Amino acid sequence: MKKIINAVDRVENDMIKGMCKAYPQYVTELPIDNDLCQDHVVVRTEKKVGKVALISGGGSGHEPAHGGYVGKGMLDAAVAGAVYTSPTPEPIYEAIKEIATDKGVLMIVKNYTGDVMNFEMAGEMAEMEGIKVAQVVTNDDVAVDGSLYTVGRRGVAGTIFVHKCAGAMAETGAELEEVKAVAEKVIDNVRTMGVAINPSMVPAAGEPGFVLAEDEMEVGIGIHGEPGVATAKLTEADAIVDQLLDKILADIDYAGSEVAVMINGSGGTPLMELFIVNNRVADVLAEKGIKVYKTYVGNYMTSLEQEGFSISLLKLDDQLKECLDAEADTPAFKE
C-alpha cells in the first residue's frame, strides 16, 4: 500500500485538520468527544441565521465530500466517519445542535444502511430537544438495487446536486418543507452510474476492495471501494460511456429535456480522461436531443485513489436551473 499519509489511524484526523487549516474562512472543526471513534464534524465558520440549515456526511475518503461543500449556498455542517464508514449518531447530533436555526435542519443522507440508521437516530435525538428536523435519502445509482452496504439504490455523486439545489433554496429563506421538496425533486430526477479501472485501498485494511486484471474494468461501482455489478473487458472510452448512458437514460425519460451533467472522477483519474469522457457524453446527448444546460467535470465525490468515473444526469426544470445558478461559495464548489 503506497500512500502519502502519516499512519493509518490518523488519516481522518490529519485530513480534517488540513482541510480546516486550508479554508478557515469557510470551515471550522467542531470539537466533539472523539476518544472512542474517528468521527469528525466541520461546520460553517460564519453560522447561518434564520434560514434552514443543511447537514450531510458519511465515511471519509470521498473528499471533497462533504466538508468541501460547507459554505454559503450549500451545507452548514458535514460529518465524516472513518474511511468508508458511517459516522456514529453522537457527532451527527452534536452537529445538528450546533447549526440548528428556528427554521429547522435538513439532513441529506446517502442511501447506505449505516448512514441512514445513524442520521435517523441523531435526528430523533435532536427532535427531542425541540429542533425541527427533516431528512432526505439520495439513491441516484442505477447500477444496482441493493448491494453489500445498502437496501435499495445507493446514493452517489448525484448527492452533490442535492446539496447545491437544497442549499440554494435554503438561502432564499424558504421553510423546511420547501427546502426538503427541492431536495426530493433533485433525487427524483438525478441518475448516476460509474465504472473503475483501478480500485482504492482503505488505509486500515491495506487491501484493495476488488482486484482487476490489466485489461479489465469494474462496471457499476459504488463509492466505497466495493465491487460493481460486473467485471468486464476494458474497452475504449466512448464504448464505456455508451454503456453507462444506456442504463441511465433507460431509467427515467430524459427525452426533450434539459439536463445538468456531472462527470465525477473517482480520485485517481486524470482530468484529461474525464474530459475525454465528457466529449462522448456531450455527443450522445446531442444526438438524442437532450440539451445540456451545464456541465461539471472534476473530483466531486471520490473513493480515495480509485481510478474511474461516474456520469450523473439531472433532469431540470426552471426551479432547479435557478437553484444551480444561485450563488455558492464553498471550498470545492463556487458559482
Q: Which is nearer to its own copies, 147 or 266 (CB)?
A: 266
Q: Scan residues 267-286 and list those touching its own copies (CB under 8 A).
A: 267-280, 282-283
Asked if 134 and 176 touch (Cβ cutoff 8 Å), the reply is yes
163 in catalytic set: no
Q: Scan residues 37-96 and list those touching its own copies (CB under 8 A).
A: 60-61, 63-64, 68
66 in catalytic set: no
Return the residue of 17, 47, 288, 291 that touches its own copies, per CB under 8 A.
17
Task: Give dist(CA 122, CA 257) in Å, integer.
Answer: 38
Count of residues near its own copies by CB under 8 A: 62
Give the shortest CB-270-to-its own copies separation in angstroms: 4
Give the shortest CB-57-to-its own copies separation in angstroms: 15
- Cell (9 digits) for 258: 434539459
Q: Which is nearer to its own copies, 126 or 160 (CB)?
A: 160
Return the residue of 70, 136, 168, 263 that touches its own copies, per CB under 8 A.
263
Q: Does 214 bind its own copies (CB under 8 A)?
A: yes
Q: Does 28 bind its own copies (CB under 8 A)?
A: no
Q: Does 167 bind its own copies (CB under 8 A)?
A: no
Applying CB under 8 A, the residues found at the interface with its own copies are 2-7, 11, 14-19, 21-23, 60-61, 63-64, 68, 197-198, 200, 214, 234, 236-238, 240, 261, 263, 267-280, 282-283, 292, 295-297, 299, 302, 304-305, 307-309, 331, 334-335
